[in-house]
Each structure stands twice: as C-alpha cells, then as structure tokens.
C-alpha cells in the first residue's frame, strides 16, 4: 500500500484512539463518582449518629394570634382544650411585718366566699380573687396605722399552679406533666390598691407517629401577667357573712383568651428519609457527571 492508498482509506486507528480516550475519561469520571458516593455515605452515617439519634424528631411551630371565643370554636368544630389546675398562694416575708399570715384572707370577688390558700379551678373559669387584711374594726384603722409605723410597705407573695416540662426530643411525650409546677411571683405596694390580671397561654402539641401508630394531640397551659393597675386605697372595710371586717388591698384574676396559641408539630425522623436524601444526591451528581 502506497502513501496515496493510505490517505484515501479511513484512518481507523485514529477513531480507535479517540474512542479509547473517551472510554478512559468515562472510567475516570466513574471512579470520581464512586469516591463521591463513598464520601456522601460516610458523611450521612456520622450525620445519622449526631442528628437523627441525638434529635430524633423534626419540629415545626405555628403561633395563632386571632382571638376566638369558645362559641366560635364550636361553630367551626375546632377542638376546645381545658384543664383543671391546682393552685396555691404562698405569702412571703416582705419589708413589712404588720401583715402576718393569720391576718390574710382570700375571698372570691362576687360571692365573697372565703377560700383556702390552696384551691382548684379550670382554665375555662374566670378566676377573680380578693386578698384582704383582717381588721379590728369597721374602719380598719389598724391597717393604716401599720402603714404609718412601718413606712416601707412592700408585700410579696407567689402563686403556684400545675405546670409541665416541655421536651421536644423526648422519646415518650413532649409535654410531661408529672409533678411539675409553675410559679408567679408578685411584689406589691400596700399603700396602693393593686389589681393584677393574668392570662392563660396555651400550647398544643401534635405528633405524627407514621403509618403503624396513631397520631396524638397533647396540650398544656402557662400563665403570664399582662396587666397591673394601682389605685388609691379607700377607707373602710367589707363585712363578710360571719360579721368579720376585712380590707381588700389586692385583686388577682386569671382569665383565658383563645389567642396566642402556640402549636407544635413534630415528626419522627426515619431511616427512609436518610436514604432518600442520599439517593437524591446520587441522582443529581450522576446527572452532572452525565453532562461531562
């Protein structure tokens, strides 16, 4: 074969050399792809240990600020939550010593029924309490004399009520109510008539258990002081049904408003989610490699 025949025939060895380069390049890309897959798998194994096992639930939250009455909730077939609470009023030593525990009385505002320091009520109830000082006479002169003698008239007390522990990553329940309580501390001036208004805030917790378990809903309440007013003391006292005179120096109320509801939803992380993330990355990387 002369040089002319060589030039007229197709150069198969050049085509073969080109295909060999393409095959070699594809092999390199396949090797890189395999290394990337191994790195991704190792990364997600450590991520599973540090994230999925440590924090097994994914959490979402939503805050509702719309005020809803119980009637409106019933009309929309919305679930209405309420809870019976155990309350306890504890009076502490302040900077005043003329008001002793045996002089303090607690009354319901409208029916003037005397109640003990510990009582039970529902979060649906509008609780209104009067904290009063037992007088020696109808004008309650001993109260005002005590103010003049002491000069400093700070008075402290606390309200304890049933609480809960909120643990988003608990394997049992996120809202745990066993032997838990919350406390509200108050400090008032006995030279003024003090009105304190507290409002319930509500937490609703929904959990999606998956196909093998039923979803469940739990809830809890906690209190916040929203308003405090001070007015002038009025001379005189109120006589109860037992002809005892008492002087009211503080009004404490607890009210429920169906607003500012915090709703949590948690979903248990699954190994299937982990595999889905891995295969999703594999497919995306494979597509990019395919372009090259």
Residues 213 and 70 in one domain: yes
pLDDT for res 5? 52
Average pLDDT score, the chain: 77
Q: What is the mean pLDDT of residues 75-81?
A: 68
Q: Looking at the 3D structure of the chain, how many domains does it have?
A: 2
Smallest Cα–Cα separation from 261: which of 81, 71, 74?
81
Q: What is the mean pLDDT of residues 106-117?
A: 86
The more confident residue out of 21 and 97 is: 97
Residues 19 and 126 in one domain: no
Does 122 fall in a domain? yes
Residues 141 and 12 in one domain: no
Strands 181-189 and 154-162: antiparallel
pLDDT for res 78? 64
Residues 216 and 241 in one domain: yes
Lowest mean pLDDT among 22-26, 39-43, 232-236, 266-270: 22-26
pLDDT for res 250? 93
Does 246 fall in a domain? yes
Annotate 104-127 with b (16+ C-beta within 10 A) or e (fewer): bbbbeeeeeeeeeeeeebebeeeb
Does 57 fall in a domain? no
Does 56 fall in a domain? no
Residues 16 and 135 in one domain: no
Structural domain for 32, as ranges: 3-51+270-291
Q: What is the mean pLDDT of residues 27-50?
A: 72
Cα–Cα distance for residue pair 52/2, rounded to 1 Å: 73
Residues 42 and 140 in one domain: no
Residues 153 and 76 in one domain: yes
pLDDT tens per residue, range 7-17 = 455 555 445 45
- 3-state secondary structure (DSSP) of residue 257: strand
Residues 101 and 241 in one domain: yes
Where is mean pLDDT largest: 34-48, 167-181, 203-217?
167-181
pLDDT at 288 over 80: no
pLDDT band with cut points at 50, 70 and 90 for residue 234: confident
pTM attached to this predicted model: 0.69
**Percentage, residues of the chain above pLDDT 70:** 65
Residues 197 and 88 in one domain: yes
Residues 279 and 261 in one domain: no
């Amino acid at each position: 074969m002369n040089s002319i025949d060589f030039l007229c025939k197709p150069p198969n060895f050049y085509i073969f050399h080109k295909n060999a380069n393409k095959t070699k390049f594809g092999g390199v890309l396949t090797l890189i792809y395999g290394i990337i897959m191994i790195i991704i798998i190792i990364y997600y194994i450590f991520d599973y240990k540090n994230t999925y096992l440590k924090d097994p639930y994914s959490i979402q939250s939503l805050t509702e600020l719309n005020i809803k009455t119980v009637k409106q909730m019933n009309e929309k077939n919305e679930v209405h939550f309420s809870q019976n609470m155990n309350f306890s009023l504890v009076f502490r030593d302040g900077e005043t010593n003329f008001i002793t525990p045996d002089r303090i009385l607690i009354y319901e505002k409208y029916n003037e029924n005397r109640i003990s320091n510990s009582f039970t009520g529902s979060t649906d109830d509008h609780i209104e309490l009067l904290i009063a000082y037992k007088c020696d006479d109808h004008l309650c002169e001993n109260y005002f004399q005590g103010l003049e003698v002491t000069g400093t008239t700070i008075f402290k007390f606390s309200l304890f009520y049933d609480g809960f522990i909120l643990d988003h990553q608990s394997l049992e329940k996120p809202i745990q109510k066993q032997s838990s309580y919350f406390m509200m501390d108050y400090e008032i001036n006995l030279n003024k008539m003090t009105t304190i208004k507290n409002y319930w805030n509500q937490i609703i917790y929904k959990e999606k258990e998956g196909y093998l378990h039923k979803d469940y809903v739990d809830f809890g309440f906690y209190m916040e002081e929203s308003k405090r007013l001070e007015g002038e003391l009025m001379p005189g006292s109120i006589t109860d049904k037992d002809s005892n005179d008492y002087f009211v120096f503080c009004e404490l109320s607890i009210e429920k408003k169906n607003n500012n509801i915090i709703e949590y939803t948690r979903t248990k992380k699954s190994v299937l989610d982990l595999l889905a993330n891995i295969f999703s990355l594999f497919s995306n990387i494979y597509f990019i490699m395919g372009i090259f």
